[in-house]
Amino acid sequence: MALTDTFVKNAKSNGAPTGEKHTDGGGLYLLVKEAGKYWRIAYRFDGKQKTLALGTYPEVSLLKARQRREKARELLAEGTDPGEAKKADKLAKAAALANTFELVAREWLEKTADERMASTHGKVTTWLEKDVIPFIGSMPISTIGPRDVLTALRKMEARGALDSVQRVKQICGQVFRYAVATGSADRDITQDLKGALTQHKAGHFAAITEPKQAGDLLRSIFEYQGHPYTVAALKLLPLVFVRPGELRKAEWAEINLETAEWRIPGVKMKMKVDHLVPLSVQAVEILLNVNTLSGHGKFVFPGLRTGERPMSENTINAALRNMGYAQEVHSAHGFRAMARTIMDEVMSERVDLIEHQLAHAVKDANGRAYNRTAHLPARRKMMQRWANYLDKLRAGADVIQLKTA
């Protein structure tokens, strides 16, 4: 006979040490002891008689006990031992609680410390400790949603830290991608925050990141009547989006126009790691033209006074000022932010490929740093799509605008 709420509520112990069982059907029964009332389900699995605890009364009501019984019966029908499933679920929850955002973030910081300069590592650590960990640090990283991260980032926006909030979002994304690689999370949920944050234009490296304005800038570059080396550098920089210092120090010995590759040695790179830049058809054409001028020397863009030294570090920024782009509007370094933003938010290119092409630290599925040739075919196609997209912007074609916050 099925149990009733009234019976369960009023059931008393008979004093027996083993307690008294009151069945409800389907293997479910209420075990009444002096110490309390316990829900159990008896079942057979693989020829063995087993018992599964379903909770205690009144924390678990008769209705909830019946619901848990049905879930157990569903598992049995699927060929799964509900007792073992409960143990696995308990272990999974314990593992999730052990992998909080703070623990994963600190592990990531430790694993990647050698890939950053000491000053940069300190800044990244401070950002996490001050702006992220206090809000989501104690949460299991597998349970964190986009809104949780957005809440922390919005607090940065509220206090006016617009120059840092996008960088902190990127750092959070790197932590999540590390968690994916180590099995602590399923995906990088920061990708769902596109367009949710205020885009900051001003700053040390000002950048144009709106497609229409980028098209205006590209037209200005192609109309600029400056020195041929300067014009060529201005045309090439948006296509390769390397750091300005890496561009002006480029040597012909590093560039293979036949294979369309520019191999930058680690001694010239910020991260001190060799970097490979696939060259689009447009980039190769620019280099072929400038080769007729400087191909006999060492540097692709030699200084205007002497070919023994590379182009001055102020040349490109000075040209941008002459074109009417003030320092707080766009800088030579800003072409990197332009590419990073538009390729991600408009073209939907893979973030890991973009980050790799920016020479940022990117890990593979085993947590190891990619070498310079990693994903080269995919990166080559991405760079050609980017070059073609820039041509369309310069021609004034219809473009998709960035989402506003």
Q: Please indicate whether residue 38 is annotated as part of the active site.
A: no
- Active-site residue, from 106, 227, 370, 381: 370
Tell me which of 22, 360, 372, 375 is the catalytic residue.
360
Alpha-carbon span 7 to 28, nearest angstrom: 15
Tokens of 46: 């693989």
**The one-letter amino acid at 122:** G
Q: The tokens 């570059």 sit on which residue?
A: 221
> Taking the chain, what is the end-to-end CA distance rounded to the nearest angstrom?
61
E strand or H helix that includes residue 276: strand 275-278
Of 333, 356, 363, 379, which is the active-site residue?
333
Annotated active-site residue in 73, 154, 268, 270 = 270
Query: Coil, helix or strand for 144?
Result: coil
Query: Is 73 an annotated catalytic residue?
Result: no
Plot region of 55 (φ>0 → left; ψ -120 to 50 → alpha; else → beta): left
Decide if 50 is catalytic: no
Could you give the CA distance from residue 259 to residue 339 in angstroms, rounded to a whole number? 23
> What is the b/e burial string over 235-246, where b = at least 16 CB atoms within 10 angstroms of the residue's CB?
bbbbbbbbbbeb
Closest CA to 141 of 192, 109, 189: 189
Tally Cβ neighbours within 10 Å of residue 277: 26
Is residue 243 flagged as an active site residue?
yes
Q: Specify the residue for token string 């933003």.
A: 341
Has 333 been annotated as catalytic? yes
* Torsion angle defined by CA atoms of residues 384, 388, 391 and 397, in that order, rounded to the nearest 10 degrees: -160
Q: Which residues pair with 20 in a beta bridge?
A: 32
Please tell me which residue in 336, 340, 356, 379 is annotated as part of the active site.
336
The enclosing H or E element of 125 equals helix 118-127
CA distance 333 to 117: 19
**Active-site residue (options: 243, 356, 363, 379):** 243
State the CB neighbour count (10 A cutoff) for residue 338.
Answer: 23
| H helix or E strand, kind and range, residue 56 | strand 48-57
Give me the active site residues, please.
243, 270, 333, 336, 360, 370
